[in-house]
Amino acid sequence: MDLLRVEAISKNFGGVAAISNFSMVQPYNTISAIIGPNGAGKTTTFNMISGVQTVDTGKIFLEDVEITKLPSHKIQRFGVSRTFQNIRLIEGLSVIDNVKLSYTSRLTYTMFEEFIHSPRVRKNETVLEDIAMEYLEFFDLSKYAKSKPKSLSYGLQRRLELARALMNEPKLLLLDEPAAGLNPAETRELMGTIQKIQEQKNLSIIIVEHHMDLVMKICSIIHVIDFGKKIAEGTPQEIIKNKAVLQAYLGDMGGEIC
Amino acid sequence: MFYFFANVLETTLMYTIFVLSVYLLSGLTGFFSLGHGAFITIGAYTAGLATLRFGLPIWLAFILAIVMGLVGGLIIGVPTLKLRRDYFLLITFGFGEMVRALLLWTSQLTGGAMGMAGIPYAAELPLIAISVVVVLFIIANLKRSSFGRTCISIRDDELAAQAMGINVYAHKIKVFLLSAAIASYGGALLAFNMTFIEPNLFDWLESARLIVIIFVGGINSVTGALVTALFYYSFGELFRFANVWRDVILAVLVILVIIFRSQGLFGNFELSPKWIKSLFNRRKSPKRGA
Ligand SMILES: Nc1ncnc2c1ncn2[C@@H]1O[C@H](COP(=O)(O)OP(=O)(O)OP(=O)(O)O)[C@@H](O)[C@H]1O
Ligand SMILES: [Mg+2]
């Protein structure tokens, strides 16, 4: 059994095929990547897997359970977490409350207990605070716990999104361009962090990324899409030599692959 | 004189309950209802009908008012809370007008435009004051745990909230029902306090005012909603002759707040035991701050 199986999914936007017949398999404990030029359909693919957008045709399975038509909150509860290409933190919540948010569905107290802030609520909240703090510490964010996300630098906001995505202990983590907007040093650090997360948490990660060096170093499988179609799949070594890939990239991104 | 002040206080506190009910929906969750007055009217008329026409005891009238508020909330909330917020606003507006029309139309039962007089005077200051405290207590508690965090996440970014495992639609319904229930309870209080009600009890402008008060106080602060409501409504009652001026002041405040303090007068501030303690500590050791 594989963790994730995507079978020929497609999505059209008013006649434009954002992605068509895309299939992939994601095993347990693996880091893989989806790469492709701008507008290739990478984010759309993530949106469909995470239930943020509906699937036009095709099927998606998580541990052999079909999740194709499930809304995103259910998919998250099944253990699929994600980050967003354009960071989407909740501005009205503090840094630590943002992290707590993705644990909401696991809290066991009811609304009626919240009315009176019952001992059970208090206990749950204390435990939650501790767990959230651990995640913040892991990402070196604990000193910003009470600040608002807006006051953080871009790189720190990306890390916060990562902490939030991990908070519900996912089996599968989808990272949409986690290194976008980071400088080379931050990018290198992020690579290390991603690897460390994968090893420590025993989870599987799919990364959408433009930074080829990042992808080549830490991913074991790479899927390449161009104009909504998959053009190659293989190990980094295979992909580097692939003619179709080179062509797609030389077309608009030139040297970045070298 | 005492009666006059007691009366001012009663009215102010009842309107404060309405403001607090709207705080949940508009302040915390970011949904604007121009028909919130309908729930107040529903509560008031349920209370009136239950006691006058059906001879039910007061306590049962209160419960029925809450139940009717919940029913109304379900009827309006279930189909509309999936829609965009602007449609929600329009539909709640329509709902408010509909309830008014319905009351006029069923005049045999409700007295129509003549209203309903002779409702027992059963809501005096102590009951109203306790009600405010209880509502305040519940809302402040909700705000500081998961319920409140979820509301804020929905207000700021529904898509992200849902991707974080939150059933956005279900939570919106919870918020709306709770808000409707509090408003209709407040409506019942109003009926039992004023002893006379009529269909224009609470029109859409009055509903809009509730929202404006929350924005002036600050959407992130229950304290802000409370203080602004107390101030605004007591001013209106104390200086009846200058009633128009309170809206002028409110309007000026709105403009000033929007320009200079978009997070509202109170921002993120909440009055809490901790804050009061820290105030005393500061007094005791003045050098610490320097
Ligand atoms: N909501 C939408 N409505 C209409 N068209 C869309 C929508 N979302 C994406 N598209 C189109 O679908 C195509 C694929 O978009 P997508 O965002 O998946 O690309 P991407 O590979 O993530 O690109 P990038 O590297 O720029 O992030 C693009 O042509 C885009 O314009
Ligand atoms: Mg993208």
- Mean pLDDT confidence for A118-137: 94
The residue to mutate among A43, A84, A224, having the most atoms of ligand 1 within 8 angstroms of its beta carbon, is: A43
Between CA A79 and CA A26 the distance in angstroms is: 14
pLDDT tens digit sequence for A166-213:
999 999 999 999 998 888 888 888 889 999 999 988 899 999 987 777
Residue B65 in contact with residue B184, Cβ under 8 Å?
yes
pLDDT tens digit sequence for A145-161:
999 999 999 989 999 99
Q: What is the DSSP letter of A7?
A: E
B170 contacts chain A (CB < 8 A): no
Between CA B189 and CA A89 the distance in angstroms is: 41
Average pLDDT, chain A: 90
Question: With 70 as the cut, is the pLDDT of residue A255 above it?
Answer: no
Residue range A1-79+170-258, CATH number? 3.40.50.300
- Mean pLDDT confidence for A132-156: 94
Question: Does the distance separating the beta carbons of B150 and A104 come in below 8 Å?
Answer: yes
Between CA B232 and CA B246 the distance in angstroms is: 7
Q: What is the DSSP letter of A89?
A: -
Q: What percent of chain A has pLDDT over 70?
A: 97
Block residue for tokens 């939150």: B166
pTM given for the model: 0.91
Q: How far is B266 from chain A (nearest CA, A)?
A: 14
pLDDT tens digit sequence for A50-93:
999 999 999 999 999 999 999 999 999 999 999 999 999 999 99
The number of the ligand 1 atom at minimal distance from the alpha carbon of A45 is 18
| pLDDT for res A135 | 95
Q: How far is B7 from chain A (nearest CA, A)?
A: 29
Residue B48 in contact with residue B194, Cβ under 8 Å?
no
Is A225 near ligand 1, meaning CB less than 6 Å away? Answer: no
Domains in chain B, CATH or no CATH each: 2-201 (1.10.3470.10)
Nearest residue in A to B168, CA atom: A73
Question: Does the distance separating the beta carbons of A111 and B142 come in below 8 Å?
Answer: yes
Tokens linked to B117 = 């007089």
Residue in A52, A93, A125 nearest the CB of B152: A93
| pLDDT for res B288 | 44
| pLDDT for res B122 | 86
Buried b (16+ CB within 10 A) or exposed e, B248-274: eebeebeeebeeeeebbbbeebbeeee
The residue to mutate among A12, A13, A212, having the most atoms of ligand 1 within 8 angstroms of its beta carbon, is: A13
Whether A1-79+170-258 and A88-169 share one fold: the answer is: yes
B163 contacts chain A (CB < 8 A): yes
Buried b (16+ CB within 10 A) or exposed e, A68-88: bebbbbbbbbbbbbbbbeebb
Tell me if ipTM is over 0.90.
yes
Q: Which CATH number fits domain A88-169: 2.60.40.10, 3.40.640.10, 3.40.50.300, 3.30.300.30?
A: 3.40.50.300
| pLDDT for res A156 | 93
Q: How far is A111 from chain B (nearest CA, A)?
A: 7
Tens of pLDDT, residue by residue, chain B (290 residues): 777 888 888 889 999 999 999 999 999 999 999 999 999 999 999 999 999 889 899 899 999 999 999 999 999 999 999 999 899 999 999 999 999 999 988 888 888 888 888 888 988 889 999 999 999 999 999 999 999 999 999 999 999 999 999 999 999 999 999 999 999 999 999 999 998 998 988 888 889 989 999 988 888 888 888 888 888 888 777 777 777 777 788 788 888 888 888 788 888 888 877 777 777 776 655 444 43
Q: Show residues of chain B in contact with A119, CB under 8 Å.
A: none
Residue in A72, A117, A164 nearest the CB of B162: A72
Nearest to A171 by CA among A204, A219, A218: A204
Nearest to B121 by CA among B185, B39, B47, B64: B47
**What is the three-class DSSP state of A88?**
coil
| pLDDT for res B284 | 57
Which residues lie below 8 Å from residue A202, measured CB to CB, with a gap of 6+? A28, A29
| pLDDT for res A258 | 43
Question: With 70 as the cut, is the pLDDT of residue A251 above it?
Answer: no
Residue in A77, A97, A125 nearest the CB of B165: A77
| pLDDT for res B229 | 84
* Residue spans per domain, chain A: 1-79+170-258, 88-169
Q: List the Cα angle B221/B150/B78 in 5-degree steps.
A: 105
Between CA A50 and CA A81 the distance in angstroms is: 8
Q: Identify the band that residue A140 occupies on the pLDDT scale cut at 50, 70 and 90.
A: very high
| pLDDT for res B282 | 66
